[in-house]
Amino acid sequence: MSRAAINRICAALPGAEVSDPWGGGHDAWKVGGKMFACIGAEGTGVSVKTADVETAQMLIAAGIGRRAPYFHRSWLLLPLDAPEDELR
């Protein structure tokens, strides 16, 4: 899935807004000022917030993604080649 496709999914959510808070080409998606997804400048994947640490750990153990660098343990990094249904 491409960066543009992920941005389309995020943009379709009610109240979603994108910004580049760190500069350099990041796409940080927020609703009500709270970030829920971020694509890094290098675009190797999309970091998404899960409900809690346990959910992130379960998805990591299932091989869906890996721990998102630079974020809290409740965040998961999904590769750009992940199936679209996993990104929705």
Using one digit for the tens of pLDDT, what is the confidence trace for 57-88?
Answer: 999 999 999 999 989 999 999 998 877 776 66
How far is C-alpha 70 from the chain's CA centre? 12
Encode pLDDT of 10-51 as tens digits. 999 999 999 999 999 999 999 999 999 999 988 789 999 999
Domain assignment of residue 16, given as a range: 3-87
pTM for this entry: 0.86
CB neighbour class for 3 (10 Å; exposed up to 12, middle 13-18, buried from 19): middle
Tell me how far apart the alpha carbons of residues 13 and 73 are, in angstroms, rounded to a whole number.
24
> By the 8 A CB rule, do 30 and 16 touch?
yes
Q: What is the CATH number of the domain that holds 60?
A: 3.90.1150.30
Encode pLDDT of 40-65 as tens digits. 988 789 999 999 999 999 999 999 99
Both tokens of 29, joined, read 């998606």
Count the domains in the chain.
Answer: 1
